[in-house]
Amino acid sequence: EVKLVEYGGGLVQPGASLRLSCEASGFTFSDFYMEWIRQAPGKGLEWIAASRNKANDYSTVYSASVKDRFTISRDTYKSILYLQMNTLKPEDTAIYYCAREVRDWGQGVMVTVSS
């Protein structure tokens, strides 16, 4: 059974940094693209970052809204996906989901950016 569990969210001040983690199990982590997707309160879904699979050298892609501030990475030995978020803004406030090829989703973790 595919399982994705996000953690690391919380309340931070504008300009701060935060790292989210997503523990993956039930599949061969290196074989799959992994995504981060977020949802601001009461709003729609927004894709923000992808880590391609091993066959594609784990190359990364970002949305314009987070490029140069967020970094997606993985620890392939621990099967953990990360999202390093720097220079956080109030508009980054959202539930952050990790997903396996947008088909299997974690439960999400809340990030609140506020002073």
Partner 1 sequence: DIQMTQSPSSMSASLGDRVTITCQASQDIGNNLIWFQQKPGKSPRPMIYYATNLANGVPSRFSGSRSGSDYSLTISSLESEDMADYHCLQYKQYPLTFGSGTKLEIK
Q: Are strands 60-62 and 45-51 parallel, antiparallel or unpaired?
A: antiparallel
Binding of partner 1 at residue 9 (CB under 8 A)? no
Q: Does 36 bind partner 1 (CB under 8 A)?
A: no
Closest C-alpha among 109, 75, 74, 73 to residue 92: 109
Give yes or no for residue 32 binding partner 1 (CB under 8 A). Answer: no
Structure tokens at 24: 């993956």
Asked if 63 interacts with partner 1 (CB under 8 A), we say yes
For strand 109-113 and strand 10-12, is the pairing parallel, antiparallel, or unpaired? parallel
Whichever of 17 and 59 has its CB closer to partner 1, that residue is 59
**In whole angstroms, how close is the CB of 67 to partner 1 at the nearest point?**
10
Residue 61 in contact with partner 1, rule: CB under 8 A: yes
Whether residue 26 contacts residue 3, with contact meaning beta carbons closer than 8 Å, is answered with yes
- Under rule CB under 8 A, residue 23 binds partner 1: no
- Of the listed pieces 9-17, 75-83, 84-92, 95-103, which binds partner 1 according to CB under 8 A? 95-103
Q: DSSP code of 54?
A: G
